[in-house]
Structure 1
Amino acid sequence: MWKHIASNALTFLIVTLFLVGGVIAWGTAEYSAEGPLENAICLKVQSGSNMRLVSEDLAERDAISSPAIFRMGVDYSDKSALLKAGSFLVPAGASMEEIAEIVTRGGQNTCGTEVVYRVAVNRLSAQVRELDPAEGEFEELVRFDIEEGVEAPEDYLRTRQDDDTQYRIVVSEGVTSWQVVQALNALDVLADDATEIPPEGMLAPDSYEVQPGDSVKALLAQMQAKQERILADAWAGRAEGLPLESPEEALILASIIEKEASTSDERFDVASVFVNRLNEGMRLQTDPTVIYGITEGKGVLGRGLRQSELRAATPWNTYVIQGLPETPIANPGRGSIEAALNPSDSDYLFFVAKTLDPRDGHNFAATLDEHNRNVALYRQLEAERDAVQDN
């Protein structure tokens, strides 16, 4: 009898293990299978939420087939404690495994209503936009310039009262440190205004997510730390034989490239011109350094340069001084820093704009005769424009 009982118990255990194994295999397959969501949605995860609440929200919106399997899969993959607050775009057909990755990997929010502040060389603007999950495209609600004494549009003020609104600050390449500080201090989303200007060139132009009440000083520190990393990485991978003795000199050259290059594609050619000039002992003779000597980065000159200014000695005027200026003249982006440290292999010594539209780039030349021909072509375009305007 005992043998019979033992045999039945063993059979029962085998069947149970088989069934459990089958359930686990089915659950695993269900967790990684294509989900039931027919159209993309914007999933908002509140601060302090948990996987149970998220799974229930997903189930109510027909994004997952089983909240229990979702939670077990998240637990099994050790992601339960990695849930991030924010608004996340969940694409149609996303598996539970893919959704778990979306809500735990962090990074920038990918949907919802967003206010984007843009810090450019000559303007500070705000854009309110909202992502349409079904189309996967942002719809602009309002865009305006932020000016002292000018009231913001109603759409913006209403958005600022919404706790779910996300905020991002985009700092353009070529903006000076003074301009960055003035812009950040003017934003009502930030607090703890900065009173000191960070070193020129040491703020990384980029896109930064912020929260209402974040400190201007803390954001500036984040930007500076990022620029330090970019510069260190680029310096470590620099080409051999450059006429640059330190990362600081590379940053100075990169800032000049940033102000002179009209397109991202020509940065490396512009860099080669200045590197070749430094190697030849020629003066750099670049207008942006003269302008910086006049403004010292505080605002925009807003007019053409005078001959007296081209001849005036300042620590930045490369028509007068030999070699590099004493400091950067703006905050260069990663592309210009990399160009300064890995320029094109060329014999170019000169460049001049191709057309009256600076976005069209430059004509480069290795000899003065070739450069003079390029300059003559540009002067002809100026004369034709002036003739049209006179008529």
Structure 2
Amino acid sequence: MRHLRVAAALAAALALASPGIAAAETPSGPPSVGAQQQSLTWAGGWGASVHRASRTFQPNWSEQGFADHTVRQVVRLTDGGPAARIRLSNAYGATPLRVTGATVARTAGGADVRPGTVRHLTVGHHRSFTIAPGAEIATDAVLLPVAALESVTVTLYFAQPTGPSTFHWYANTDSYRATGDHRGDHKGTAFTETTQAWYYLAGVDVIKVFPRRTGVAAFGDSITDGYGATPGAYSRYPDELAERLRAVGRPRAVINQGIAGNRLTGDSPLFGDKGISRFKRDVIDQPNVGTVIILEGINDIGMTGADVSADALVAGHRELIRQARAAGVRVIGATLLPYKGSGFFTAGGEAKRDALNHWIRTSGEYDVVVDFERATASPTDPDQMNPAYHIGDGLHPNDAGYRVMANAVDPAAFAR
């Protein structure tokens, strides 16, 4: 009987969700779908923090944008459901973004998708749609059952020039480009160009039945974003954490909202809006997020031209805590990892890091503390990362280091 009720509720949601979702410029709220307000809710299955077009350390297509191009992007979900929607962002666009057509499908490998799984995406039941400058939209719901830890492929076709694109520069996995309209192709043969970035893609949401706010947002910089992890291996600490929680019987979405190079207190044309500014969009407004892990501040300490005091870093963390608590989101504070031996390191910076970590551990202002510093420190020098855990730069973990970080998070920190 319960399965019949769920099926009926899902059918109603798919019938009713599309107009409401298409009309929403802020698709995260209200979270309930259609008439089934108490039973069906959108929840984030995957997400990425977007920023303005820029020339970064890796080649990307953001500055020139797209014209008569199809862009195919692969993401792995950390939660699943019987239906999905895609969120697209033109947050940093100066002109309206015309999406000529788009599809979503199950990934087969590389740029290939599984035959029979391609679904055309619509907004307001139209296959072509426009996203206003500064806006984010969600597509109508599509009946594409997806499982946690399964990959889906989102394909966007732009017939007209887009101009510079809102994007996420460090995807740590390949995205693909083809000339012409190839949104429905099963084979990826036409997709001969690659970069490791995501374009316009802000989230993949799934429908949950009788949900609670169990989603987790991992908020931070390159160490959250996963710089140094093996490309395409899904070995960043948020990926590893999602797998661990599922293995111990506490499954939940873990949405990676890191931006490599990001700072807590300072904007950057390359590395995104400062943490205290983007926190609402990237955490509070994410559907069904109930907990956030905050790991932010090392770039404020180490970047050339950044002269931020320990008191200013504490004030920044307090502002994030304030925003989270006001929205009813549980806050977990993470200590900054050791960085002695990196190009960032100075004695003055180390004093600031020590002071911030001491405050995170002892102030009692966070609901829970996860001690990434002690988990990753060298056994012979606590100010240095264990050589077995970093990529050789003394700053960024490798796959083993990211796994250690995930293992340092107590599953009991997340309420059932």
Class of the TM-score when normalised by the shorter of the 2 chains: under 0.3
Normalised to the residue count of structure 2, the TM-score between the two structures is 0.21
Instruction: Flag the structure with higher strand content.
Output: 2
Greater relative CO, 1 or 2 (CA 8 Å, sep 6+): 2
Which structure is larger by alpha-carbon Rg, 1 or 2? 1
For normalisation by structure 1, the TM-score amounts to 0.22
